[in-house]
Structure 1
């Protein structure tokens, strides 16, 4: 049964990074963060989703690492991740890369604060990136809130309500170009002079001078989707909610041949994986 999102989720302080190329990746086109993004989820899932949402990309979100930073065991976290996958908040994928002439798999877990259906995930992960809507009033409100917080973070940059409204559209352009709240605050507050005579003019000048460039279109990356629970690849049609038929309970179990084949794939993956890698999200 769904329940209200807990107000005090664990804080993602000092959470480790995965090795380069692994770990969390944020899905594009998410709605701005609010206080009730996961209110439709049970308490445990909402708490874990809130924690994942606030982690940086490339954070190690393997079950073992999450269990060290959250008040849940590995089994509980594994079940919660499966439930988040079914609810449309994450998908686990892999893509082949070649390093020093050796083929390897690079693993990611895509996370979306905004719940997506299977059709959206299928389109995104096969390279058909869904269109990203233009900045909405909600996005502009986030921009206003960041501007209003500047004075609490750095008193020299205190702005009035009218000044926040006048600068709101300029700040919203930062989010439209891929910046997050922390990056905007850092750009406004770093390296301040000892005395700021006119906070409004100073912030307005920085918003224009430090505006990030327009993101350049990149060729879509195609991923092979794997089951969130067992990490086995499967055809897109057989993965509903990110889970294969077996992990959804559609079959009683694996045959001996299937178990041997699965173990063989795991051994092959371990042989091609560098021995020095730790904390990979697999």
Structure 2
């Protein structure tokens, strides 16, 4: 049964804030606040959602703190309402790795709130940093090009870059071992192979030592011998390190167990989903239609009265 006015005014100005870096975070949401925003929800969930929606970012979002501010429901009822709001796509609890922590790995905990009910895929994108609906940053205007000084040449050529480390190593090879003296053309032709050595973790000292070790008494073609050794003694490729950016984690709205979004559909782990389904079934079976109508009437009367401070 839906509640007719879920956005009834409730005192939010004095609601406590969470510690810096914690608490409520508003997700990207173009839907404006209206009196019928949460009419699709049951009375309790609409009542809690209307209050949360008006809280500022950084407000405390734990069930105990919310229950102290809500006159109609206790802590357990608010906790159940939060679970249901998570299942319907209005909120997710997320733990984020804190940047620049000097004490090792540190996490901060947010409760992301969306006035619009979102599906699991939308929340997964938000968790990975792809905020749906966010406008890209405008391109910064380019500074106008200053005219060249009067009398300066119109086409100033850039300075020529120096030789690469691979070319330099081959050029120094003849000084280390005169039998392997290479010409400039030889160094240019073999530069690519020498660069592969350096890219695989070898330094120039190892490169020169490997090329000059165990030479015959006479070397008739230094370029051919160096080319053969560069190919035959090429070190193995280093394995690419599996460097992964630490990914943020979602939390079960009820018990707080961390996991990826695909493991927490509706923001709840399997245990809490099963427990919630069983409790809902038992509650519906125990309450008759007359009892439900009576409680809703009491709720409406209480909300028409001045709010307690």
Under a length normalisation based on structure 1, what TM-score does the superposition of the two structures give? 0.55
CA distance in 1, matches of 2:276, 2:46: 29
Give a deviation string over 1:114-160, Cα, whole Å, max 9, x none: 11111111111112221348xxxxxxxxxxxxxxxxxxxxxxxxxxx
1:23 and 1:108 in contact (8 A); partners too: yes
Runs of 4+ deviating beyond 3 Å:
213-216
* Structure 1 counterpart of 2:2: 2
* Structure 2 counterpart of 1:88: 89
CA distance in 2, matches of 1:246, 1:66: 24
1:9 and 1:47 in contact (8 A); partners too: no
- Root-mean-square deviation over aligned CA pairs: 2.9
* Structure 2 counterpart of 1:35: 35
* Structure 1 counterpart of 2:263: 238
* Structure 2 counterpart of 1:145: none
Give a deviation string over 1:4-31, Cα, whole Å, max 9, x none: 3335242213111111000000001331
2:24 and 2:60 in contact (8 A); partners too: yes
Q: Shift of the alpha carbon at 1:41? A: 0.7
1:238 and 1:244 in contact (8 A); partners too: yes
Matches within 5 A, 1:1-282: 1-6=1-6, 8-71=8-71, 72-97=73-98, 99-132=101-134, 223-249=248-274
CA distance in 2, matches of 1:48, 1:57: 16
Closer/same/farther in 2, CA of residues 251 and 86 from structure 1, 3 Å limit: closer
What secondary structure does 1:110 align onto?
Answer: strand
* Structure 2 counterpart of 1:188: none
CA distance in 2, matches of 1:74, 1:132: 35
Q: Shift of the alpha carbon at 1:66? A: 0.8
Greater Cα offset, 1-10 or 51-60: 1-10
2:3 and 2:41 in contact (8 A); partners too: yes
1:4 and 1:41 in contact (8 A); partners too: no
Aligned length: 171
CA distance in 2, matches of 1:60, 1:9: 19
Gaps of 5+ in 1: 134-176, 178-212, 253-282
Closer/same/farther in 2, CA of residues 7 and 110 from structure 1, 3 Å limit: closer
Closer/same/farther in 2, CA of residues 222 and 27 from structure 1, 3 Å limit: farther
CA distance in 2, matches of 1:93, 1:56: 18
Gaps of 5+ in 2: 141-245, 278-309
Give a deviation string over 1:213-271, Cα, whole Å, max 9, x none: 9799xxxx95311111111012322211111111110799xxxxxxxxxxxxxxxxxxx
CA distance in 2, matches of 1:110, 1:5: 23
CA distance in 2, matches of 1:215, 1:108: 30
Under a length normalisation based on structure 2, what TM-score does the superposition of the two structures give? 0.50
CA distance in 2, matches of 1:58, 1:251: 28
CA distance in 1, matches of 2:43, 2:275: 27
